[in-house]
Structure formats: structure tokens, C-alpha cells
Amino acid sequence: MAQLAADRRDVDFVLHEQFGIEQLSEHECFADFNAKTIDMIVSEARQLAIKELLPLMGEGDLEGCTFHDGQVKVPGSFHRAYDLFRKGGWIAMCEDTAWGGQGMPATVALAADNYFNAANYPFMLHNILAQGAGKLIERFGTELQKKLFLKNLYSGQWGGSMLLTEPDAGSDVGALTTKALPNGDGTYSITGNKIFISSGETDLVPNIIHPVLARIEGAPPGTAGISLFLVPKIWVNHDGSLGEPNDIICTGIEEKMGIHASPTCSMALGSRDICRGTLLGEENRGMRAMFVMMNRARLHVGMQGFSCASASYLNALAYARRRIQGKSPEASTDADPRVPIIEHPDVRRMLLTMKSFTEGMRSLLFYTGFMEDMARVAGSHGEKALYQGRIDILIPVAKGYVTDRAFEMCSLGVQILGGYGFTRDFPQEQLLRDCKITQIFEGTNGIQAMDLLGRKLGRDQGPFEELLQEAQKTVARAREVSALKGIARALEGNILKLKAVAGHLRKKLQSGDIPWAFAQAHPFLEVTGDTLTAWMLLWRALTAVQKLESASGKKDISFYEGQLRSAGFFMGSVLPVSLGRMEAILLDDRSVADMSDDLFGGR
């Protein structure tokens, strides 16, 4: 069975019918991106993804990456694909055209990314950090740094990475021990070891620019004393020519559960000679700069996980329509014919679960990008702050909730295929393995939950409440439509309950009951994600009802009616469980907070 990637009809529905993305072309910075141009971009992305990237996914997984004497080789077939990808200008889709970017709306770039990642997300890991490193330089770099690095990164001539994690400083970044000593000529000597570095070494590009977090000698302890440096694999002279190799060396690559075609490297800096770097931004402000890259990266990770689910759903759907197994539950005699498994109720339940979640999550991710676009074209500081407030709430949900649910959908995608789903004859098992890391990197989902509760809700509840008020506007419109009254009321009840839970958690934080509050952080992330996904599905259903009035083609009618079914299923099957989770939070059970180490057993 051929592997599938993303549903073009659904992508177009979200872009044009739900969000009306072409409205962005009314603003000068997006004037070139009318509906026709956007459709052309998505078509080109789809063609590259399906024709070039998709056939390499299984092959790359089997071949994997190899390491020898400090050198990493990626799957051989990736070289041609990478050349096509970078020449197409896909690495820096949203970035400034002055530096080689395409300047396109973030929402449109996410649509392209949906195809790319669903087709071959391990391949895409070779590209995302080049864009991320370039964004850091564009935002914080000196004019010389921009001149030396930006175009080469955004064009894909050079690669990028992010050297953050150390053996004893993962999520606890402030514990890092990598040191930076000034050399007196504007450069620094960097010494230390980093681990879990995606694309820290690769043979796809001749040079890699590594942003590195390190502590200048004498700097304050913790995150307050961390600075950010640019450390090229090959030193770059002031005239742009390449100099001598820098002493930043890959010492090995990890053997992993998934993403075999993406090297996860251990890196040593200054272990043999002098490893030189230049300061990026201000001293002791490295964490502030790093979060600029990380917030965007977290949205990308959400798209990576979601894209695995997107592909898994379409594969499962195609298989269920073709696989003949058993008789209809209504069969009464042995003479009744065997049927495709899509006719079995439990398979339909799993497929509808996958359909509703993938549709809702696609809208949620695209909406986050849409808010980034709206913030960019905002006409006032207050308007920009409103959109940024929504983004701040949405990012931990887009990364944490979406990847959690995406992994669950990939598991269902295996289940629907039964024994075949567990074999390498079909892509489902790889999608499940590859998806798992999205719950872990760029901050585990537990950290996303703590970010949502502690940094976003705990400090300022305004943006959270404003986002829920925006959702309630959709509820109000849907309650005026007879076909949607019931599901609109269901979502309204969920929103009101979520507000009460948020208020309860804020009081706990303010009273100093921190352990209990943070024990509820992940359940709170789950119920927030459920509510926002339900909002997206109700919005989709409202749009579909309006479109049904003029729809004539059978495919369009089926598509729009399918939106109503997705929303109805989610409100009737998922939201009641979400309400139960909220009740559990309000019960104030202290088991997690009060559980001492010795009570866990195992000794």
C-alpha cells in the first residue's frame, strides 16, 4: 500500500474557508500572497513531498546514519532530496527576503510543512535548525555576523544546530558547565560537552553554524549567567571565505527508537585544540535569545508530531477501505459476504477518533501560525499584544497537547491495521516510533504543562481568559444554527468549567501550594487542549454548515457533512472525559504532592 501524507481538501478548507488566509494579502508585507499564489505554494510543496521525500522515508529509516572518526553520513538518497529542497527555497519560507527568505505567511508555511513532515519528517530535521540558527542571527547578530552567516543558512548552503543540552544539564539548563573565555580579539575559547544535538554533524553541507549556550568566566550562576555564542564547524573569515576547521567534534551518535535518518550527536568543544566562537547578542542574555528560537521550534515540533498522525490516519483509512475481513455485525447467515473492515463499528470508532483529532489539531496549529501573521500586520501595539498573548498560550498546547494526542493517534493507526500495523510492510510502525520523540525534545511535555500553568496562567491570566472569550464568540454564533445548538452547548459547558479550574489553580499557586498545583499541570494542559481543539472543530462545523447551503458536488457535500460528524463525535465522546479530568483536578487529591520517595517501592 502506498504511503499517504496529508489531506489536500482539508488543508485548503482550513486555509481558505475557515481562516480566509487570503485576507493577509491586503497588507503590504504579504501583498504577493493572494489565494492563487497560496494554492500554488501548497501544490508545489505537496508535489515535492510526495514525489521526492515520501519514497525515501522507509529507505532512510532502514539505512540510518553512520558514524566514523568524527564524521556522520546520512542516508545517501537524502543528498539529492536536500539539494532539491534548498534550491526550492523551502528552508526559510517565512524569513526576510533581503537575506534569502521567502517572506511568506507563517500559516502558509505550516501548510507546506504539513506535507513535508508527513512525507519524511526525519529528513526535515536536517533543515529546521538551519532556519532556527539563522533566525537567532537575524534577531540578535551584529551586521558582520549577519553578513557572514545569514544567506548561507537560509539558502541551505550551510547547516545549523542548537547546542544546549549537557549530560547533567538537560531541562535544568542553568546547571550547564560549558565555559567561554575571552581571547582579547572579540572571540571566545569554548570548552565543554553537549549531547542530544540534532544534526550536530552531517555530510549534507560543508559547514555547520552552531549556536552554543555557555557561561563566561565569572558570570552569575544559573540561567542568569548564560550567554549565547556562534561556533562554526569551519571558521569563517571576515571576507566570508572558509578558514581552518574549528575544534568542535562529533564524538558519536545515538542509537534511537526512531528518527534513524536524523543524527543525534554528542559534541566536544575544545577537547583537542582551541574552539573559537563569537558572542551572539548580549553577555548573560543567552536564555532570552534562545527562547526566540525555541518558541518557533516548539510550534514546528507540534507540526512534526501532528504530521505523523496525519499520515497515519490516511494510511489507516485507505487500508480499512481495502482490507476484507469478517462479516458485517448485522450478518445473519454464513452466506453473507465478508466486508471491508471499515464497516466494523470498532474500526469506525477508531477512524472517527483519528479523523476528529487530526482535523482539530490541524486547525489549532494553523491558527497559531495565523496569530503570528496577524501579530506581524497588527496596526497598533495593543492589537499586537493581543495576538502575542494568544500565541503565548497556544505554543505549549501546540507542542505539548498536540504531540501527546498525535502519538495516541499513531497508536490507533497501528491498531487499525492489526498485525500488519506491527510489521515494516506498512509505514504505521515507523510513524509511531518517529512520533514519540516529539513528546520529548524542545522541552518535554511535562515542561510545556509547567510553562502553561506557571509562566503563562500563573503570571497573567488575561491572555488565557481572552482566548477563551474568543472561543465563546464561536459558540454564540453556533447556537444560532439549529444543527449545531447541542454541540455548541457542550463546548460552552467545557469552557465555563475550564475557567473555574484555571481560577482554582491560580489560587493554589498564589497560596503557595506549589507542589499540588504543578502535580495538576499536565492534566490542565490536557483539558485546555481538549477545549481548544473542540473550539476548532465547532468553528469548522459552523463553516461547513454555511458552505453546505451552496454546495452541489457530492465530494463537497460529503466533506462538509463529515465536519459535522467530527465535531459531534468529539463533543459527545471526548469532552465528557475532559470534564471528568477537570472534576479530578477540583477534588484536590494530594497523592502526588504528598507521596514520599520510599513509598514508591522498588528497593
Amino acid 559: pLDDT = 96
Per-chain mean pLDDT for the chain: 94
Q: 230 and 175 in one domain?
A: yes
Instruction: Classify residue 530: in a domain, yes or no.
Output: yes
CATH of the domain at 182: 2.40.110.20
Which residue(s) pair with 198 in the sheet? Answer: 264
Catalytic residues: 442
Instruction: Classify residue 358: in a domain, yes or no.
Output: no
Query: What percent of the chain is predicted at pLDDT more than 90?
Result: 84
Q: 143 and 182 in one domain?
A: no
Q: 298-327 burial string, b = 16+ CB within 10 Å, else e?
A: bbbbbbbbbbbbbbbbbbbbebbeebeeeb
Average pLDDT over residues 236-245: 94
Confidence label for 296 from pLDDT (cuts 50, 70 and 90)? confident
- With a CB cutoff of 8 Å and minimum separation 6, the contacts of 431 are 308, 309, 311, 312, 315, 410, 413
Confidence label for 460 from pLDDT (cuts 50, 70 and 90)? confident
Residue 318 or residue 292, greater confidence: 318
Amino acid 3: pLDDT = 56
Q: In the predicted model, is pLDDT for residue 292 greater than 90?
A: no
* Number of helices and strands in the chain (H, E): 20, 14
Q: What is the pTM of this model?
A: 0.95
Q: 65-85 burial string, b = 16+ CB within 10 Å, else e?
A: bebeeeebbbbebbeebbeeb
Instruction: Classify residue 165: in a domain, yes or no.
Output: yes
Residue entry with cell 517565512: 94
Q: 274 and 240 in one domain?
A: yes
Model confidence over 466-483: pLDDT tens digits?
999 999 999 999 999 999
Angstrom distances, CA of residue 60 to CA of 4, 258, 415, 439: 17, 11, 24, 22
Q: 579 and 516 in one domain?
A: yes
| Rg of the chain taking only CA atoms, in angstroms | 25
CATH of the domain at 21: 1.10.540.10
Confidence label for 1 from pLDDT (cuts 50, 70 and 90)? very low
Q: In the predicted model, is pLDDT for residue 598 greater than 70?
A: yes
Q: 540 and 589 in one domain?
A: yes
- With a CB cutoff of 8 Å and minimum separation 6, the contacts of 287 are 173, 213, 223, 226
Give CA 115 to chain center in angstroms. Answer: 13
> Which of 134, 154, 174 is the endpoint of a domain?
154
> Which of 255, 288, 321 is the endpoint of a domain?
288
Residue range of the domain that includes 46: 8-65+76-154
Angstrom distances, CA of residue 420 to CA of 300, 415, 417, 495: 30, 9, 5, 40
Model confidence over 98-112: pLDDT tens digits?
998 999 999 999 999
> Which of 131, 154, 177 is the endpoint of a domain?
154
Residue entry with cell 487529591: 589
Q: 249 and 117 in one domain?
A: no
Instruction: Classify residue 365: in a domain, yes or no.
Output: no
Q: 130-154 burial string, b = 16+ CB within 10 Å, else e?
A: bbbbbbbbbebbeeebbebbbbbbb
Q: In the predicted model, is pLDDT for residue 171 greater than 90?
A: no
Instruction: Classify residue 255: in a domain, yes or no.
Output: yes
Residue entry with cell 520517595: 597
Instruction: State the CB neighbour count (10 A cutoff) for residue 177.
Output: 13
Amino acid 216: pLDDT = 95
Q: 589 and 468 in one domain?
A: yes
Give the DSSP per-residue string, 77-95. Answer: THHHHHHHHHHTT-TTTTS
Number of domains in the chain: 3
Instruction: Classify residue 384: in a domain, yes or no.
Output: no
Instruction: Classify residue 312: in a domain, yes or no.
Output: no
